[in-house]
Structure 1
Amino acid sequence: MQTSFGIDFAPILPLWLIAALGAVCLLALLPAFLRRARGVWWRGLAFALLLGALSQPRLVEQTRETRPDIALLLVDRTDSTRSAEGHAAAIEAARRQLESRIGRLRDVELRVVDVPEGGNQGTRAFAALEAALSEIPAARLAGVLLLSDGQVHDIPPSGSWSPGEGVPLHLLMPGRAGEVDRRIRLIEAPGFGIVGRSVELRLIVEDLGVPRAEGQARLTLRRDGQAPITESVPIGREHRISLPIERAGPSVIDLVAETRPGEVSDVNNRVVVALNGVRDRLRVLLVSGEPHAGERTWRRLLKADPGVDLVHFTILRPPEKDDLTPLNELALIAFPVRELFQVKLRDFDLIVFDRFANRGILPPSYMRNIAEYVRAGGALLASVGPEFVGGTSLAATPLGSVLPARPLSPQQAILDQAYRPRISPAGSRHPVTEGLPGANTESTEASWGRWYRTIRTDARAGTTIMEGPDASPLLVLDRVGQGRVALMLSDHLWLWSRGHDGGGPQQELLRRTAHWLMREPELEEEDLTARIEAGRLFIGRRSLDSGPPPEVTITAPDNSTRREPLRADGGGRASAQVAAEAPGLWQVSDGRRQAFAAAMPANPPEFADLRSDPARLQPLVQATGGAARFLGDGQTVPEIRSVAAGRDAQGAGWLGLRKRDDHTVTGIAALPLLPAWLMLPLLLGVAILAWRSEAR
Structure 2
Amino acid sequence: MTQLRFDPALPWWAIVALAVLAALVAGFALWRGLRGWAWRGLAGLAAALALAGPALELGTRAGLSDIVILLDDRSSSQDLPGRAGQVDQAVEALTDGIGALPGTDLRRVTVGDDDDGTLLGTALSRAVAAEPEARLAGVIALTDGRLHDPAQLPEGLPAPLHVLLTGQPEDWDRRLVIEEAPAFGLIDQEVTIRLRVEDQGAVPEGQQTGSVALRLSVDGEDGQTVAVPLNTSLTLPVIPRHAGQNVVQIELAEAPPGELTDRNNAAAISITGVRDRLRVLLVSGEPHAGERTWRNLLKSDAGVDLIHFTILRPPDKFDGVPVSELSLIAFPTRELFLDRIDDFDLIIFDRYSVRGILPPDYYLNIARYVEEGGAILVSAGPEMASVESLNLSPLGPILPARPTGRVIEEPYLPRLTEDGRRHPVTAGLAGPDPDEPDWGRWLRMAEVTPEPGAQVALTGAEDSPLLILDRVGEGRVALLTSDQVWLWGRGFEGGGPQLELLRRIAHWSMQEPELEEEALLADVSDGLTVALTRRTMQDSAGPLQVTHPDGTVTQVPLAPDGPGRFIADWTAPEPGLYRLVDGDIARVLALGPAAPREFEETVADAPLLAALTDASGGSVLRLSDGVPDLRQTRAGRAASGTGLGGPWIGVTPRDAAQITGLDRRPLLPGWAWLALISGLILTGWLAEGRRRPA
Length-normalised TM-score, structure 1 = 0.83
Mapping 1:288-327, distance limit 5 Å: 288-327=284-323
Q: In the alignment, which of 105, 108, 114 is matched to residue 105 of structure 2?
A: 108
Would the alpha carbon gap of residues 52 and 327 (structure 1) be closer, same or farther in structure 2, given more than 3 Å must change? closer
Match of 2:40 in 1: none
Q: What is the distance in 1 between the residues matched to 2:545 and 2:626?
A: 44
Aligned to 2:32: none
The aligned counterpart of 1:185 is 177
Task: State the partner residue of 1:216.
Answer: 211
Q: Taking structure 1 as reference, are residues 574 and 104 closer, same or farther at Cα in structure 2, changes over 3 Å only?
A: farther
Between 108-117 and 620-629, the greater mean CA deviation after superposition = 108-117
Cα offset for 1:148?
2.7
* Matched ranges for 1:151-170 at <5 A: 151-156=146-151, 161-163=155-157, 166-170=158-162
- AA in 1 matched with 2:354: N
Q: Find the counterpart in structure 1 of residue 639 from structure 2.
A: 649
AA paired with 1:336?
P
Say if 2:414 is the partner of 1:406.
no
2:541 counterpart of 1:582: no
Offset of residue 180 of structure 1: 2.2
- Aligned-residue offset at 1:389: 0.9
Distance in 1 (CA, whole Å) between partners of 2:445 and 2:478 is: 16
- Equivalent-residue separation in structure 2 for 1:675 and 1:98 (angstroms): 56
Per the TM alignment, residue 152 of structure 1 is displaced from its structure 2 partner at its CA by: 2.8
- 1:504 aligns to what SS in structure 2? coil
107 and 675 in structure 1: CA distance in 2 versus 1, 3 angstrom threshold: farther
Residue 197 of structure 1 is matched in structure 2 by 189
Pick from 242, 266, 269 the counterpart of residue 270 of structure 1.
Answer: 266
Which residue among 369, 378, 383 is the counterpart of 1:382? Answer: 378
Q: How far off is 1:256 after superposition?
A: 1.1
- Whether 2:231 is the aligned partner of 1:236: answer yes
Stretch deviating more after TM superposition (670-679 or 102-111): 670-679
SS in 2 for 1:298: helix
Alpha-carbon deviation of 1:138? 2.8
Q: Is this contact kept in 2: 1:172–1:629, CA < 8 A?
A: yes
Pair 1:175-2:171 in alignment: no
How far apart, CA to CA, are the structure 1 residues paired with 2:65 and 2:567?
56
Which residues in structure 2 correspond to 1:78-93 (within 5 Å)? 78=75, 81=77, 84-87=80-83, 90-91=86-87
What residue number does 2:36 align with?
none
CA pair 449-98 structure 1, distance change in 2 beyond 3 A:
farther
1:73-124 superposed Cα distances (whole Å, 9 cap, x missing partner): 4444555x257545456446645655565456544141425365253xx544
Judged with a 3 Å threshold, the aligned counterparts in structure 2 of structure 1 residues 621 and 22 are, in CA distance, closer, same or farther, namely farther
More moved, 83-92 vs 171-180: 83-92
Q: Are positions 1:340 and 2:336 aligned together? A: yes
- Any idea what SS the aligned residue of 2:439 has? coil
- Structure 2 residue runs of 5 or longer lacking an equivalent are 28-42
The AA in structure 1 aligned to 2:604 is: S
Look up the SS of the partner of 1:417 in the other structure.
Answer: coil
Task: Indicate the SS of the match to 2:604.
Answer: coil
Q: Name the stretch that deviates more: 667-676 or 680-689.
A: 680-689
2:456 alignment counterpart: 464
Is the 8 Å Cα contact of residues 269 and 590 (structure 2) preserved in structure 1? yes
Asked if the contact 2:577/2:594 (under 8 Å) is kept, the reply is no
Could you tell me which amino acid in structure 1 is paired with residue 649 of structure 2? L
Task: Please say if residues 169 and 202 of structure 2, whose CA atoms lie closer than 8 Å, have aligned partners that are also in contact.
Answer: no
Give structure 1 stretches of 5+ with no counterpart: 28-45
Quick one: distance in 2 between partners of 1:656 and 1:48? Answer: 53
Q: Distance in 2 between matches of 1:419 and 1:222?
A: 51
Number of corresponding residues: 667
Superposition deviation, residue 604 in structure 1 = 7.8
- Is 1:495–1:503's contact at 8 Å kept on the other side of the alignment? yes
- CA deviations on 1:307-365 (whole Å, 9 max, x unpaired) are 22222222234323333332122223333333322222222111111111223333333
1:112 maps to amino acid: V
CA distance in structure 2 between the partners assigned to 1:574 and 1:642 by the alignment: 68
How far has the Cα of 1:465 moved from its partner?
Answer: 1.8
2:442 is aligned to 451
Match of 1:418, SS? Answer: coil
1:576 Cα deviation after fit? 2.9
**Secondary structure, counterpart of 2:532 in structure 1:** strand
The residue matched to 2:150 in structure 1 has which SS?
coil
Deviations 1:174-228 (A, max 9, x none): 2133532212223332222222221222222111235896511111112211113
Relative distance call for 1:526 and 1:264 in structure 2 (3 A) is same
Equivalent in 474, 484, 489 of residue 466 of structure 2: 474
Residue by residue over 1:620-648, the C-alpha shift from the partner in whole angstroms, topping out at 9 and shown as x without a partner, is 1110111112224xx94434445454444
Q: Deviations over 1:125-169 (max 9, x none)?
A: 3334334444433333333333332223443599x9113xx3222
Q: Percent identity?
A: 44
SS of equivalent residue, structure 1 residue 127: helix
Check conservation: 1:568, 1:574, Cα contact below 8 A.
yes
Q: Distance in 1 between matches of 2:410 and 2:308?
A: 31
Q: Is the 8 A contact 2:283 2:349 kept in 1?
A: yes
In 1: Cα distance, 2:237 partner to 2:18 partner: 92
Counterpart CA distance in 1 for 2:84 and 2:313 is 81
1:366 deviates by 2.3
Partner of 1:40: none
What residue is the counterpart of 1:416 in the other structure?
Answer: 409
SS in structure 1 at match of 2:338: helix
Of the candidates 116, 132, 136, which is equivalent to residue 131 of structure 2? Answer: 136
| 1:502 matches 2:494 | yes
Report if the CA contact (8 A) 1:186-1:203 is conserved: yes
- Pair 1:431–1:10, CA change in 2 (3 A): same
Q: Which amino acid aligns with 2:218?
A: R
Name the amino acid aligned to 1:551: P
Letter in 1 for 2:648: W
Separation of aligned partners in 2, 1:267 and 1:88: 18
1:487 pairs with one of 479, 493, 509 = 479
CA distance in 2, matches of 1:110, 1:235: 45
Give the whole-Å Cα distance in 1 for the aligned partners of 2:2 and 2:526: 63
8 Å contact from structure 2 (residues 575, 596) kept in 1: no
Q: Secondary structure at the match of 2:469?
A: strand
Structure 1 CA distance for aligned equivalents of residues 342 and 456 of structure 2: 27
Q: Distance in 1 between matches of 2:75 and 2:522?
A: 26
Q: Secondary structure at the match of 2:561?
A: strand
Picking from 521, 524, 528, the partner of 1:529 is 521
CA distance in 2, matches of 1:11, 1:676: 13
2:581, 2:386 → 1: CA distance? 47
* Residues 102/487 of structure 1: CA separation in 2 closer, same or farther (3 Å cut): farther
Q: Which amino acid aligns with 1:496?
A: W
What is the rounded CA distance, in whole Å, between the counterparts of 1:479 and 1:100 in structure 2? Answer: 76
Equivalents in 2 of 1:358, 1:273: separation in Å?
A: 49
Q: Cα–Cα, structure 1 residues 504 and 70, in superposed 2: closer, same or farther, change >3 Å?
A: farther
RMSD: 4.2
Residues 143 and 333 (structure 1 numbering): CA distance in 2 closer, same or farther, change over 3 Å? same
- Larger relative contact order (Cα-Cα within 8 Å, sequence gap ≥ 6): 1
1:161 maps to amino acid? E
| Contact 1:287/1:356, CA 8 A, preserved across alignment | yes
Report the 3-state secondary structure (helix = DSSP H, G, I; strand = E; otherwise coil) of the residue aligned with 1:619.
helix
